[in-house]
Amino acid sequence: MNCRYTIQVALGAALLLGLAPQGSAAAIPISVLRSAADFAVLGASTVTNTGATLLTGSPTGTANLGLWPGTSVTDAGLVTFTNGAIVAGAAAQQAQADALLAYNDLSARLGGTLTDPDLGGYHGLTALVPGIYDFAESAAITGTLELNAQGADEAYWIFQIPSALTTASNASVRFINLNPLGNRGADINVFWLVGTSATLGTDTAFAGNILAETSITMNHGATIFSGRALALGGAVTMDSNTINVVPVPEPSTFSALTVGLAVLCGRSRRRREA
Protein backbone atom coordinates (compact mmCIF):
# COMPACT_ATOMS: atom_id res chain seq x y z
CA MET A 1 0.00 0.00 0.00
CA ASN A 2 1.35 3.42 -0.94
CA CYS A 3 0.52 5.07 2.39
CA ARG A 4 1.48 8.62 1.47
CA TYR A 5 -0.61 8.43 -1.70
CA THR A 6 -3.62 6.79 -0.03
CA ILE A 7 -3.81 9.16 2.94
CA GLN A 8 -3.27 12.13 0.62
CA VAL A 9 -6.42 11.14 -1.27
CA ALA A 10 -8.40 10.95 1.97
CA LEU A 11 -7.07 14.30 3.12
CA GLY A 12 -8.05 15.79 -0.22
CA ALA A 13 -11.64 14.78 0.46
CA ALA A 14 -11.41 16.37 3.90
CA LEU A 15 -10.72 19.77 2.36
CA LEU A 16 -14.36 19.91 1.34
CA LEU A 17 -15.63 20.00 4.92
CA GLY A 18 -16.25 23.35 6.61
CA LEU A 19 -18.45 25.45 8.87
CA ALA A 20 -20.77 27.96 7.34
CA PRO A 21 -22.75 31.12 7.63
CA GLN A 22 -26.10 30.95 5.86
CA GLY A 23 -26.24 31.86 2.18
CA SER A 24 -27.84 30.85 -1.07
CA ALA A 25 -27.02 30.22 -4.71
CA ALA A 26 -28.92 28.80 -7.64
CA ALA A 27 -27.94 25.27 -8.59
CA ILE A 28 -26.36 23.99 -11.76
CA PRO A 29 -26.85 20.24 -11.27
CA ILE A 30 -24.35 17.70 -12.49
CA SER A 31 -27.07 16.52 -14.89
CA VAL A 32 -25.93 19.36 -17.19
CA LEU A 33 -23.30 16.82 -18.29
CA ARG A 34 -26.00 14.35 -19.33
CA SER A 35 -24.45 10.92 -19.99
CA ALA A 36 -20.92 12.33 -19.59
CA ALA A 37 -21.64 12.49 -15.85
CA ASP A 38 -21.16 8.70 -15.81
CA PHE A 39 -17.49 9.09 -16.73
CA ALA A 40 -14.56 9.91 -14.47
CA VAL A 41 -12.30 10.03 -17.54
CA LEU A 42 -13.31 10.69 -21.13
CA GLY A 43 -10.78 10.96 -23.94
CA ALA A 44 -11.08 11.60 -27.67
CA SER A 45 -7.81 10.47 -29.29
CA THR A 46 -6.17 8.28 -26.63
CA VAL A 47 -6.14 7.57 -22.91
CA THR A 48 -2.70 6.86 -21.48
CA ASN A 49 -2.07 5.65 -17.96
CA THR A 50 1.12 5.03 -15.99
CA GLY A 51 1.15 3.44 -12.53
CA ALA A 52 -1.78 2.59 -10.27
CA THR A 53 -4.76 4.85 -10.94
CA LEU A 54 -8.10 4.70 -9.08
CA LEU A 55 -11.45 5.84 -10.47
CA THR A 56 -14.12 5.93 -7.77
CA GLY A 57 -17.87 6.08 -8.23
CA SER A 58 -20.76 5.26 -5.92
CA PRO A 59 -23.94 3.14 -5.95
CA THR A 60 -25.71 6.09 -7.59
CA GLY A 61 -22.91 7.33 -9.85
CA THR A 62 -20.49 5.44 -12.07
CA ALA A 63 -16.84 6.31 -12.70
CA ASN A 64 -16.28 4.96 -16.19
CA LEU A 65 -13.27 5.46 -18.42
CA GLY A 66 -14.41 6.28 -21.96
CA LEU A 67 -12.72 6.84 -25.30
CA TRP A 68 -14.14 7.96 -28.65
CA PRO A 69 -13.34 8.14 -31.53
CA GLY A 70 -9.91 6.80 -30.55
CA THR A 71 -9.36 3.16 -29.60
CA SER A 72 -6.04 3.12 -27.73
CA VAL A 73 -6.09 2.87 -23.92
CA THR A 74 -2.57 2.31 -22.60
CA ASP A 75 -1.94 0.32 -19.39
CA ALA A 76 -5.64 -0.05 -18.70
CA GLY A 77 -4.80 -3.00 -16.47
CA LEU A 78 -3.31 -0.60 -13.92
CA VAL A 79 -6.60 1.30 -13.56
CA THR A 80 -8.83 0.18 -10.68
CA PHE A 81 -12.54 0.97 -10.72
CA THR A 82 -15.07 1.37 -7.94
CA ASN A 83 -18.39 1.05 -9.77
CA GLY A 84 -16.99 1.74 -13.20
CA ALA A 85 -15.51 0.15 -16.31
CA ILE A 86 -13.85 0.92 -19.64
CA VAL A 87 -16.50 2.07 -22.10
CA ALA A 88 -16.11 2.51 -25.86
CA GLY A 89 -18.36 2.54 -28.91
CA ALA A 90 -21.78 4.17 -28.97
CA ALA A 91 -21.90 4.94 -25.24
CA ALA A 92 -18.58 6.80 -25.33
CA GLN A 93 -19.63 8.59 -28.52
CA GLN A 94 -22.82 9.79 -26.82
CA ALA A 95 -20.85 10.91 -23.77
CA GLN A 96 -18.56 12.98 -26.00
CA ALA A 97 -21.58 14.59 -27.68
CA ASP A 98 -23.15 15.36 -24.30
CA ALA A 99 -19.89 16.77 -22.92
CA LEU A 100 -19.71 19.13 -25.90
CA LEU A 101 -23.30 20.24 -25.32
CA ALA A 102 -22.47 20.96 -21.68
CA TYR A 103 -19.31 22.85 -22.67
CA ASN A 104 -21.25 25.07 -25.06
CA ASP A 105 -24.08 25.60 -22.57
CA LEU A 106 -21.79 26.59 -19.69
CA SER A 107 -19.51 28.70 -21.92
CA ALA A 108 -22.46 30.82 -23.05
CA ARG A 109 -23.34 31.93 -19.53
CA LEU A 110 -22.23 35.43 -18.60
CA GLY A 111 -20.11 36.26 -15.58
CA GLY A 112 -17.39 38.55 -14.32
CA THR A 113 -13.78 38.74 -15.48
CA LEU A 114 -10.89 37.84 -13.19
CA THR A 115 -7.92 40.04 -13.96
CA ASP A 116 -5.42 37.91 -11.99
CA PRO A 117 -4.72 34.70 -13.95
CA ASP A 118 -3.23 33.01 -10.85
CA LEU A 119 -6.13 31.60 -8.87
CA GLY A 120 -3.76 30.58 -6.09
CA GLY A 121 -4.08 34.09 -4.70
CA TYR A 122 -7.80 33.74 -3.94
CA HIS A 123 -8.10 32.52 -0.37
CA GLY A 124 -9.14 33.81 3.02
CA LEU A 125 -10.86 37.16 2.64
CA THR A 126 -10.59 36.93 -1.14
CA ALA A 127 -11.96 33.38 -1.47
CA LEU A 128 -14.21 33.13 -4.51
CA VAL A 129 -17.95 33.09 -3.84
CA PRO A 130 -20.26 31.10 -6.14
CA GLY A 131 -20.57 32.49 -9.63
CA ILE A 132 -19.22 32.56 -13.16
CA TYR A 133 -15.66 33.74 -13.75
CA ASP A 134 -13.98 34.29 -17.10
CA PHE A 135 -10.38 34.96 -18.04
CA ALA A 136 -8.66 36.85 -20.83
CA GLU A 137 -6.38 33.93 -21.71
CA SER A 138 -4.87 31.19 -19.54
CA ALA A 139 -5.29 30.49 -15.83
CA ALA A 140 -3.08 28.90 -13.20
CA ILE A 141 -3.16 27.73 -9.60
CA THR A 142 0.22 28.05 -7.88
CA GLY A 143 -0.96 27.79 -4.28
CA THR A 144 -4.36 27.19 -2.69
CA LEU A 145 -7.61 28.33 -4.27
CA GLU A 146 -10.47 28.61 -1.78
CA LEU A 147 -14.09 28.50 -2.91
CA ASN A 148 -16.49 30.03 -0.39
CA ALA A 149 -19.86 28.24 -0.56
CA GLN A 150 -21.44 30.83 1.77
CA GLY A 151 -23.48 28.13 3.49
CA ALA A 152 -25.36 27.07 0.36
CA ASP A 153 -25.90 23.41 -0.51
CA GLU A 154 -26.34 24.23 -4.20
CA ALA A 155 -23.41 26.57 -4.80
CA TYR A 156 -21.62 26.39 -8.13
CA TRP A 157 -18.59 27.89 -9.86
CA ILE A 158 -17.95 28.10 -13.60
CA PHE A 159 -14.46 29.04 -14.78
CA GLN A 160 -14.34 30.04 -18.45
CA ILE A 161 -10.71 29.83 -19.61
CA PRO A 162 -10.06 30.54 -23.33
CA SER A 163 -6.58 29.04 -23.28
CA ALA A 164 -4.79 26.65 -20.89
CA LEU A 165 -5.25 25.72 -17.23
CA THR A 166 -2.12 24.74 -15.29
CA THR A 167 -1.59 23.91 -11.64
CA ALA A 168 1.76 23.86 -9.86
CA SER A 169 3.05 20.92 -7.87
CA ASN A 170 1.16 20.56 -4.57
CA ALA A 171 -1.42 23.17 -5.59
CA SER A 172 -4.90 22.66 -4.16
CA VAL A 173 -8.53 23.64 -4.49
CA ARG A 174 -10.57 23.61 -1.30
CA PHE A 175 -14.03 24.61 -0.17
CA ILE A 176 -14.89 26.67 2.87
CA ASN A 177 -18.20 27.55 4.51
CA LEU A 178 -20.20 24.54 3.43
CA ASN A 179 -23.51 24.18 5.24
CA PRO A 180 -22.85 21.85 8.20
CA LEU A 181 -26.56 21.05 8.46
CA GLY A 182 -27.13 20.43 4.76
CA ASN A 183 -25.81 17.98 2.20
CA ARG A 184 -22.17 18.84 2.99
CA GLY A 185 -21.20 19.46 -0.61
CA ALA A 186 -23.29 16.80 -2.34
CA ASP A 187 -24.81 19.46 -4.59
CA ILE A 188 -21.70 21.64 -4.89
CA ASN A 189 -20.50 21.74 -8.51
CA VAL A 190 -17.44 23.26 -10.13
CA PHE A 191 -16.89 23.38 -13.89
CA TRP A 192 -13.59 24.23 -15.57
CA LEU A 193 -14.09 25.10 -19.25
CA VAL A 194 -10.66 25.03 -20.85
CA GLY A 195 -10.17 26.28 -24.40
CA THR A 196 -6.99 24.26 -25.03
CA SER A 197 -5.37 21.91 -22.53
CA ALA A 198 -5.42 21.37 -18.77
CA THR A 199 -2.37 20.18 -16.81
CA LEU A 200 -2.52 19.20 -13.14
CA GLY A 201 0.88 19.37 -11.47
CA THR A 202 2.45 16.66 -9.32
CA ASP A 203 0.44 15.94 -6.15
CA THR A 204 -2.18 18.59 -6.95
CA ALA A 205 -5.38 18.20 -4.89
CA PHE A 206 -7.99 19.42 -7.34
CA ALA A 207 -11.77 19.70 -7.36
CA GLY A 208 -14.22 20.12 -10.20
CA ASN A 209 -15.20 18.86 -13.62
CA ILE A 210 -12.62 19.67 -16.29
CA LEU A 211 -14.01 20.01 -19.81
CA ALA A 212 -11.03 20.70 -22.06
CA GLU A 213 -11.34 21.31 -25.79
CA THR A 214 -8.03 19.52 -26.38
CA SER A 215 -6.22 17.41 -23.78
CA ILE A 216 -5.90 16.79 -20.04
CA THR A 217 -2.65 15.75 -18.35
CA MET A 218 -2.57 14.61 -14.74
CA ASN A 219 0.98 14.42 -13.44
CA HIS A 220 2.13 11.91 -10.84
CA GLY A 221 -0.06 11.77 -7.73
CA ALA A 222 -2.52 14.46 -8.85
CA THR A 223 -6.01 13.90 -7.44
CA ILE A 224 -9.45 15.11 -8.45
CA PHE A 225 -11.28 14.47 -5.21
CA SER A 226 -14.69 15.51 -6.53
CA GLY A 227 -14.98 15.83 -10.29
CA ARG A 228 -14.07 14.48 -13.72
CA ALA A 229 -11.49 14.75 -16.51
CA LEU A 230 -13.31 15.11 -19.85
CA ALA A 231 -11.19 15.84 -22.96
CA LEU A 232 -13.30 16.77 -25.98
CA GLY A 233 -10.70 16.69 -28.72
CA GLY A 234 -7.47 15.07 -27.55
CA ALA A 235 -5.89 12.73 -25.04
CA VAL A 236 -6.17 12.15 -21.32
CA THR A 237 -2.81 11.26 -19.75
CA MET A 238 -2.67 9.86 -16.21
CA ASP A 239 0.13 8.88 -13.84
CA SER A 240 -0.81 7.19 -10.55
CA ASN A 241 -3.87 9.37 -10.02
CA THR A 242 -7.20 9.22 -8.23
CA ILE A 243 -10.45 10.66 -9.56
CA ASN A 244 -13.53 10.59 -7.33
CA VAL A 245 -16.93 11.40 -8.78
CA VAL A 246 -18.59 10.69 -5.44
CA PRO A 247 -20.03 13.35 -3.11
CA VAL A 248 -18.03 14.38 -0.07
CA PRO A 249 -18.30 11.93 2.86
CA GLU A 250 -19.95 12.94 6.10
CA PRO A 251 -17.43 14.14 8.74
CA SER A 252 -17.94 11.03 10.87
CA THR A 253 -17.40 8.80 7.85
CA PHE A 254 -14.25 10.67 6.87
CA SER A 255 -12.82 10.49 10.40
CA ALA A 256 -13.32 6.74 10.49
CA LEU A 257 -11.79 6.41 7.01
CA THR A 258 -8.70 8.43 7.94
CA VAL A 259 -8.10 6.46 11.15
CA GLY A 260 -8.56 3.18 9.29
CA LEU A 261 -6.07 4.18 6.60
CA ALA A 262 -3.53 5.24 9.22
CA VAL A 263 -3.85 1.86 10.98
CA LEU A 264 -3.48 -0.07 7.73
CA CYS A 265 -0.47 2.00 6.72
CA GLY A 266 1.15 1.45 10.10
CA ARG A 267 0.69 -2.31 9.82
CA SER A 268 2.04 -2.30 6.28
CA ARG A 269 5.09 -0.29 7.34
CA ARG A 270 5.82 -2.66 10.26
CA ARG A 271 5.67 -5.66 7.93
CA ARG A 272 8.22 -4.09 5.61
CA GLU A 273 10.53 -3.29 8.51
CA ALA A 274 10.24 -6.77 10.06
Phi, psi of 193, deg, nearest 5: -100, 110
Which residue segment(s) compose the domain that 218 sits in? 3-273
Instruction: Kindly report which listed range (93-107, 169-183, 199-213, 252-266) carries the lowest average pLDDT score.
Output: 252-266
pLDDT tens, position by position, 211-244: 999 999 999 999 999 999 999 999 999 999 999 9
What's residue 119's pLDDT? 97
Indicate whether 136 pLDDT > 60.
yes
Indicate whether 34 pLDDT > 50.
yes
What's residue 171's pLDDT? 98
Per-residue buried b or exposed e for 56-92, using 16+ beta carbons within 10 Å of the residue's own CB: bbeeebbbbbbbbeeeebeeeeebebebbebbeeeeb
What's residue 4's pLDDT? 42
CA distances from 261 to 7, 34, 62, 78, 211 (A): 7, 34, 24, 21, 32
Total number of domains in the chain: 1
pLDDT tens, position by position, 241-263: 999 997 654 433 333 343 444 44
State pTM to two decimals: 0.83
What's residue 170's pLDDT? 98
